[in-house]
Amino acid sequence: MATSIGSLDSCKPTNNNVGCPPQNGTASVHDSHPPSTIASSDATLGRHLARRLVEIGVQDVFSVPGDFNLTLLDHLIAEPGLKNIGCCNELNAGYAADGYARARGVGACVVTFTVGGLSVLNAIAGAYSENLPVICIVGGPNTNDYGTNRILHHTIGLADFSQELRCFQTVTCFQAVVNNLEDAHEQIDTAISTALKESKPVYISISCNLPGIPHSTFSREPIKFAISPRMTNKMGLEVAVEAAAAFLNKAVKPVMVGGPKLRVAKAHEAFVTAQDVSTMIRCEQKSIIFLINNGGYTIEVEIHDGPYNVIKNWNYTGLVDAIHNGEGNCWTTKVRTEEELTEAIATATGEKKDCLCFIEVIVHKDDTSKELLEWGSRVSSANSRLPNPQ
């Protein structure tokens, strides 16, 4: 992770190319046409940031207003290609940007200093763990307040303005504190390109008195980021697939769990196109799908049971019937006993062998493995230890 604070600690690229390549790509800069000149009234930090967001695919920015970010919001909403979505609280804004990044590839939220930044922090931490490029923009203190030992409102009552920054350093891949215009252009571009390159959130704090001030560095359209196509190592991929297949074939109870790296590798569609029931039916798959329904969070039940571990169940077989909708070959059933399960398997492998078969197996909430029961007991004992004598 890197931090850039004003002109004191700028993070500069190792060459003149500003880009956002994937992990094993290279960056380049498109400059086939001279950038057009921007009117001085629009040559501001706020408008530059807005244009950058639009350029990378952000059309909606999720925000909660506060006095430190109001001028910045004025300049963001002045950008025709950017729509401001006002949220009820900062955590909602952060999770909205998280969801937007999942759907669109990158998201952005705007909050105010400390009271807003600390509120949105949990959503940004989630985006970090899920490898989501979320641009978290915070309206920061006036540049004249830095170093004055003043205590500002909406803070925790300390004159140290770095508390929010220190919190974000652990859950973002780059942090920029923009409190002067000379290197604001570089800091913003570096932060955004790093988010795209690393597929992680970044933190950008912008002093509240800077967004509307024209500056020569914002007088031209920003040079576009360029991403080189990601090249696959075919030989390495083949070896990896063979190793994975061998590992699964040796497993007694194989289970595949998709993690956040699927999104970074742009492989989520391939992993899902395996679970998509409607596509299976359309493609005339003859798979047998078992859904084990234990009615709740069994792993939590074995640690500490309570009514909060029970979930509202769906009619899962009815859901598959709705997806089927009378088109293609599909058969569903719900079983509650061992005899019914044996009969269902016989039907799926016999009379309905030309169908996609979906079998929902209803089991008791405590019907689990010996290993999970033992693990739950150990965790329960560990969690309930009494405090040591003082």
The answer on pLDDT for 9 being more than 60 is no
Query: Is there a contact between 18 and 106 (Cβ–Cβ < 8 Å)?
Result: no
Q: What percent of the chain has pLDDT over 90?
A: 46
Under DSSP, is residue 218 helix (H, G, I), strand (E, B) or coil? helix
Over range 44-52, report the average pLDDT: 94
- When pLDDT is cut at 50, 70 and 90, the band that residue 5 belongs to is low
The answer on pLDDT for 57 being more than 90 is yes
Q: Which of 27-36, 274-283, 320-329 comes out lowest in average pLDDT?
A: 27-36
pLDDT (0 to 100) of residue 6 = 56
**Tens digits of per-residue pLDDT, 330-352?**
999 999 999 999 999 999 999 99
Q: Which of 62-71, 274-283, 312-321 comes out lowest in average pLDDT?
A: 274-283
The answer on pLDDT for 38 being more than 90 is no
* Higher per-residue pLDDT: 153 or 344: 344
Over range 261-276, report the average pLDDT: 68
381 vs 34, 44, 94, 304, 385, CA distance in Å? 68, 59, 36, 10, 6
pLDDT (0 to 100) of residue 19 = 35
Over range 16-36, report the average pLDDT: 41
The answer on pLDDT for 282 being more than 90 is no
The answer on pLDDT for 128 being more than 70 is yes
pTM of the model: 0.64
Alpha carbons 166 and 181: distance in angstroms, whole number: 23
The answer on pLDDT for 106 being more than 90 is yes
* Higher per-residue pLDDT: 278 or 60: 60
- When pLDDT is cut at 50, 70 and 90, the band that residue 383 belongs to is confident
The answer on pLDDT for 23 being more than 60 is no
Return mean pLDDT, the chain.
84
* Higher per-residue pLDDT: 158 or 318: 318
Other CB atoms within 10 A of residue 302 CB: 21
The answer on pLDDT for 292 being more than 70 is yes
CA 231 to chain CA centroid, Å, is 24
CA 99 to chain CA centroid, Å, is 7
Alpha carbons 205 and 91: distance in angstroms, whole number: 17
Residue 307 gets which letter from DSSP? G
The answer on pLDDT for 26 being more than 80 is no
pLDDT (0 to 100) of residue 80 = 94
Over range 182-197, report the average pLDDT: 94
Over range 163-176, report the average pLDDT: 96
Mind listing the domains of the chain with CATH numbers?
2-227 (3.40.50.970), 276-382 (3.40.50.970)
Query: Is there a contact between 10 and 183 (Cβ–Cβ < 8 Å)?
Result: yes
- When pLDDT is cut at 50, 70 and 90, the band that residue 229 belongs to is low
- List % helix, strand, coil for the chain (3-state, nearest 5): 40, 15, 45
Q: Which of 220-224, 275-279, 284-288 comes out lowest in average pLDDT?
A: 275-279
- When pLDDT is cut at 50, 70 and 90, the band that residue 20 belongs to is very low
The answer on pLDDT for 223 being more than 90 is no
pLDDT (0 to 100) of residue 195 = 95
The answer on pLDDT for 27 being more than 80 is no
Over range 32-36, report the average pLDDT: 56
Alpha carbons 141 and 61: distance in angstroms, whole number: 21
Over range 119-125, report the average pLDDT: 97
Query: Is there a contact between 14 and 2 (Cβ–Cβ < 8 Å)?
Result: no
pLDDT (0 to 100) of residue 34 = 54
Beta bridge partners of 288: 357
pLDDT (0 to 100) of residue 112 = 94
